[in-house]
Amino acid sequence: MKKIYPLLGIIGPLTYIIAVFMGGALRGDYNPFYNSISELLIPGSPNLLVLSILFAIYNVSLI
């Protein structure tokens, strides 16, 4: 089990970066200089399910 911890330490940040860049690219009105990352997950936003899954993977690996 302890061999998976370093792997999760690598997967977590990579998943977060992918989620942020992919969410910003898929949403046309998102500007990373003016909008916060949490605005990618507001109800009714496009690709909410995909981003929720990616952020869930990040949160699990963070634990």
- pLDDT 10s digits, 10-33: 899 999 999 888 888 888 888 888
- Cα–Cα dist 17/20, whole Å: 5
- CA–chain centroid gap for 50, Å, is 9
Domain boundaries, the chain: 4-62
Span 46-59, average pLDDT: 89
| Structure tokens, 31 | 């500007």
pTM of the model: 0.79
- Cα–Cα dist 24/9, whole Å: 24
